[in-house]
C-alpha cells in the first residue's frame, strides 16, 4: 500500500497579527451572515462530542433572554490531551476573537474562560490578554467582558453542564438534559459553551472564509484538527492535521516502529489495535473506510512492551476517581470494572467474567447520565475485545 504523507497544517498556531482587522471586518457582517458562514463551514465542536458550532450559536442567538453568556471550555482534562493549553499560550487572541464574535451574534455580554486548575500558571498571561481585548471590543462598540474562572481538579467539569454547576459554586455534577445550555446554561441563562480549539478554528473561518475551511478534511469531518501525540513515539507534541486520515497514516508518521495499538480520543476514546490501523479513519461520523472515530485529539501510542491490562487499569482507576459519583451506572460501574479485571487477572473470577463486565459497559453506555459514564465503555470494550488474552494471563 502506498504510503500517504499526512497533510500537516499551520493554521491554528500561525501568528495572525491582523486579528483586530479580522475582528473589524467580521463585525461589519450581519449576525445572520456570520451564523450562516459558521454553519456552512461545517465546524463541529472540538472537545470530543462534535456538535455543530454554528447551530449552537444560532440557538442561543434566537433566545430572547436579556442575559446570555459565552463560555470557553478550557478544562482540558482528557488524559493525553494538551493542545488547548498551547492554544491559550500561543494564540489566545484567536480564542478571544471567537468569543467576541460569538458575543456579538448571540447578544451575550459576559464571557468566561473556565481554566483547569492544573493550568493556573497561565492566569497572568491570560489576564493581560483579556484586558487588552476588552479595550479592543469597546472600540468596536461591543460591551463584552471576559473573566477567568479557575477549576480545582475535577475532570468531570469538562462536561459542559458540570462546568456550569462548578461556576455556580457547586459540586461539578452534570445536569439532566434537556434543558440544554443554549436554553438554560450558566445561572439558568442561555449560554454558548465552546471548547478552546473550536473557538480558535472560528478565527480561521473568519479569516479565510467558510469555503476554505470546508475544503479541508473529508465528508462531515471538516477542517483541520489539533492532535496531542504522546506515548511511545519519538515525536510527542501537538500537530495540526487534516481530519479523515487513517490510523495507519498516523502511525507511519509517529510510531517508534513497534506500535501495537493507538488510543484515539483519550481514556474516554477507543483503542485501535494494529490489525485495524488501516480500516480506521479519524473523524466524526463519516463512513470513509470501516470505522470512524470521534476525537478530542488525543493520540496515545503503545509499543509492544506495554501491558494493555495496565493501560486499561490506569484508565479505569482514573474514571473511578473522576466520576462525579451521582449516577449509579458510572459510580458503581467503574468500581466493578476496576475490581472485576483485577479479580480475573488474579484468577478469583473466571475469564468468562469479562463477558459480564462487557455487558455491564453496554449498560453504562446507554444509562449513565453524562458522557463520562457513557464513554467508559469505549476503552473497556475496545481493549478487552482486542487484548482479551492480556486481561487474563
Size of the site for other proteins (CB under 8 A): 83
Binding mask 46-75 for other proteins (x = CB under 8 A): ------------------------------
Instruction: Rule CB under 8 A: say whether 192 interacts with other proteins.
Output: no
What does residue 252 show for φ and ψ, rounded to 5 degrees? -55, -40
Please pick, from the candidates 58, 116, 225, 260, the single residue that binds other proteins as defined by CB under 8 A.
116
Please pick, from the candidates 45, 47, 50, 77, the single residue that binds other proteins as defined by CB under 8 A.
77
- Per the CB < 8 A criterion, the answer to whether 22 and 203 are in contact is yes
Binding mask 286-315 for other proteins (x = CB under 8 A): ------------x-x-----x---xx--xx
Please report how close the Cβ of residue 217 comes to other proteins at its closest, in angstroms.
24
Residue 206 Cα to chain centre, angstroms? 21
Please report how close the Cβ of residue 361 comes to other proteins at its closest, in angstroms.
10
Please pick, from the candidates 128, 215, 363, 385, the single residue that binds other proteins as defined by CB under 8 A.
363
Instruction: Rule CB under 8 A: say whether 187 interacts with other proteins.
Output: yes
**Dist CA 288 CA 245 (whole Å):** 9
Please pick, from the candidates 82, 144, 250, 387, the single residue that binds other proteins as defined by CB under 8 A.
82
Contact set for other proteins, span 124-183 (CB under 8 A): 149-156, 166-173, 176, 178
Q: Which three cell numbers stand for residue 267?
A: 481514556
**Dist CA 24 CA 136 (whole Å):** 10
In the bound state with other proteins, the residue whose beta carbon lies nearer, of 202 and 375, is 375
Contact set for other proteins, span 367-386 (CB under 8 A): 367-369, 374
Contact set for other proteins, span 194-233 (CB under 8 A): 228-232
Please report how close the Cβ of residue 8 comes to other proteins at its closest, in angstroms.
16
**Dist CA 202 CA 39 (whole Å):** 11
Which DSSP symbol is given to 183?
T
Please report how close the Cβ of residue 256 comes to other proteins at its closest, in angstroms.
13
Sequence-ordered list of residues with C-beta below 8 angstroms from that of 309, at least 6 positions apart, any chain: 341, 345, 387, 390, 391
Residues in a beta bridge with 228: 238, 298
Q: Which helix (H) or strand (E) holds 197?
A: helix 196-208
CB atoms within 10 A of CB 169: 6
- Per the CB < 8 A criterion, the answer to whether 348 and 364 are in contact is no
Please report how close the Cβ of residue 21 comes to other proteins at its closest, in angstroms.
33
Please report how close the Cβ of residue 244 comes to other proteins at its closest, in angstroms.
23
Q: Which three cell numbers stand for residue 388?
A: 482479551
In the bound state with other proteins, the residue whose beta carbon lies nearer, of 34 and 156, is 156
- Per the CB < 8 A criterion, the answer to whether 330 and 116 are in contact is no
Please pick, from the candidates 214, 339, 345, 388, the single residue that binds other proteins as defined by CB under 8 A.
339
Residue 257 Cα to chain centre, angstroms? 28
Contact set for other proteins, span 311-330 (CB under 8 A): 311, 314-315, 318, 320-329
What does residue 262 show for φ and ψ, rounded to 5 degrees? -125, 130
**Dist CA 96 CA 200 (whole Å):** 8
Please report how close the Cβ of residue 193 comes to other proteins at its closest, in angstroms.
16
Please pick, from the candidates 57, 119, 133, 206, the single residue that binds other proteins as defined by CB under 8 A.
119
Please report how close the Cβ of residue 24 comes to other proteins at its closest, in angstroms.
33
Amino acid at each position: 500500500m502506498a504510503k500517504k504523507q499526512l497533510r500537516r497544517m499551520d493554521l491554528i498556531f500561525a501568528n495572525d497579527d491582523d486579528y483586530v482587522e479580522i475582528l473589524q471586518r467580521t463585525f461589519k457582517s450581519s449576525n445572520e451572515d456570520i451564523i450562516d458562514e459558521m454553519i456552512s463551514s461545517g465546524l463541529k465542536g472540538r472537545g470530543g462530542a462534535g456538535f455543530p458550532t454554528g447551530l449552537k450559536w444560532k440557538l442561543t442567538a434566537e433566545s430572547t433572554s436579556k442575559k446570555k453568556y459565552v463560555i470557553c471550555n478550557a478544562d482540558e482534562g482528557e488524559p493525553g490531551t494538551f493542545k488547548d493549553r498551547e492554544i491559550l499560550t500561543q494564540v489566545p487572541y484567536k480564542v478571544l476573537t471567537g468569543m467576541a464574535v460569538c458575543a456579538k451574534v448571540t447578544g451575550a455580554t459576559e464571557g468566561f474562560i473556565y481554566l483547569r486548575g492544573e493550568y493556573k500558571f497561565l492566569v497572568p498571561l491570560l489576564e493581560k490578554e483579556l484586558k487588552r481585548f476588552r479595550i479592543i471590543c469597546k472600540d468596536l462598540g461591543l460591551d463584552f467582558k471576559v473573566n477567568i474562572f479557575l477549576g480545582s481538579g475535577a475532570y468531570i467539569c469538562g462536561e459542559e453542564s458540570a462546568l456550569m454547576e462548578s461556576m455556580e459554586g457547586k459540586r461539578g455534577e452534570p445536569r439532566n438534559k434537556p434543558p440544554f445550555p443554549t436554553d438554560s446554561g450558566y445561572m439558568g441563562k442561555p449560554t454558548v459553551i465552546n471548547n478552546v480549539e473550536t473557538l480558535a478554528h472560528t478565527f480561521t473561518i473568519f479569516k479565510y472564509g467558510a469555503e476554505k475551511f470546508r475544503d479541508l478534511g473529508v465528508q462531515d469531518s471538516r477542517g483541520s484538527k489539533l492532535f496531542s501525540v504522546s506515548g511511545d513515539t519519538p515525536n510527542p507534541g501537538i500537530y495540526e492535521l487534516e481530519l479523515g486520515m487513517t490510523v495507519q497514516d498516523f502511525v507511519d508518521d509517529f510510531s517508534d516502529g513497534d506500535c501495537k495499538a493507538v488510543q484515539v480520543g483519550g481514556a474516554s476514546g477507543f483503542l485501535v489495535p494494529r490489525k485495524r490501523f488501516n480500516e480506521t479513519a479519524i473523524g466524526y461520523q463519516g463512513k470513509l473506510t470501516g470505522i470512524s472515530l470521534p476525537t478530542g485529539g488525543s493520540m496515545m501510542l503503545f509499543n509492544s512492551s506495554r501491558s494493555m491490562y495496565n493501560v486499561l487499569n490506569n484508565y479505569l482507576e482514573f474514571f473511578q476517581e473522576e466520576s462525579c459519583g451521582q449516577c449509579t451506572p458510572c459510580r458503581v460501574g467503574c468500581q466493578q470494572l476496576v475490581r472485576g479485571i483485577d479479580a480475573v487477572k488474579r484468577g478469583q473470577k473466571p475469564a468468562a467474567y469479562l463477558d459480564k463486565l462487557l455487558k455491564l459497559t453496554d449498560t453504562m453506555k446507554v444509562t449513565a447520565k453524562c458522557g463520562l459514564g457513557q464513554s467508559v465503555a469505549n476503552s473497556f470494550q475496545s481493549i478487552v475485545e482486542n487484548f482479551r488474552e492480556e486481561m487474563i494471563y
